[in-house]
Structure 1
Amino acid sequence: RAALFDEIVPGERYAALTGHPDIRGWFEWFLGDDVHLHRRKIIRHIRPGESGIGTATQAHYDLVYLRQGSERVLSMWIPLGDCPVEQGGLTYLEGSHHWALAAERERGDRPPAASITADLPALAEAHDARWLLADYRAGDVMVHSSYVVHASTDNVDPQGRIRLSTDIRYQRASEPIDWRWQEHWHEDDGL
């Protein structure tokens, strides 16, 4: 963990990946503007057999963590190597952006809890929806809005491989930026 937080996260090689001209250029093209990459970028490292609350990422949508900036932040999830379903990759709840956005508008200034639930099947049943997941390969990326409900599943890889992935967030540079996300990710950063 010391190497992760003290060397890798603030390191030049990780910055070169997350700020790569092809990635940055795609966000500039998609958003039609100059973009800002949030400095807080997360590297997920899930070992096989680690399970339960706090290991796999519970169901949530990103806006609940980015309340002090633009609601139009886009997240990019990048598997760092092949990531078959058994390794616990990213999963999306189909159609969830519709009800998450409606709930936000109805809630007003009252923020929701940070995560929705660890019970993914019950959440899908409550919304008559499916969890969508896939086998990911090195080079794949997933991009989603701050309203899409997503999670990860437990790593049950029979070959005992660790799942590595990273989350990065881009937005228009001209929109409000959540100042809390402008320091390197650290286990004690409070977010």
Structure 2
Amino acid sequence: MYIETEATPNPSTLKFLPGRQVMTAGTREFTSPEAAEASPLAQMLFDLGDVTGVFFGADFVSVTAAPGVEWASLKPQVVAVLLDHFISEAPLFNGGDATGFSVPGDVDDLLDGQADDPAHADVVAQIRDLIDTRVRPAVANDGGDIIYRGFREGVVYLTMQGACSGCPSSSATLKHGIEGLLKHYVPEVTEVRAA
């Protein structure tokens, strides 16, 4: 088995491609060792000590190194953990499920505990379609994901995950890339903000 690696726009994060499916649906992000307890693989990566984030995509794993850690020393350790995991065909999550939780349509779609206003259902459908068809695939190529959080008074709220979370260019991606796209196709959108 061979695991490819790709740089991401975030210098702290590398994208690892095991050449097979990682998640059967959705994505999953782990930002602490406590959160990683749900996944044996994520837990092993955090156990390396120099990892501050793990993200599972459809066919990749993004790993974020702690500040000051050099990838030259961490990368072989991460590859070894990934090889052991995928060769042994161990379950991705405790309980054996490989389904993520950050999929469109779940509780992540709520903003401040409230569902989108039904009066804006058509606008929200357009926004979601653009995010799913144009934005998410591009963000996944960079080792991350973007989650729709809500639409209020012309403002679209989104959360960046994986390599895109904490990336120096994430605010530019939100403001210049995604905001421009949404404003162009959905005139009701006036702004995009991180949630």
**Per residue, is there more helix in 1 or in 2?**
2
- Structure of greater Rg: 2
Larger RCO (CA within 8 A; separation ≥ 6): 1
The TM-score, its normalising length taken from structure 1, stands at 0.23
The TM-score, its normalising length taken from structure 2, stands at 0.23
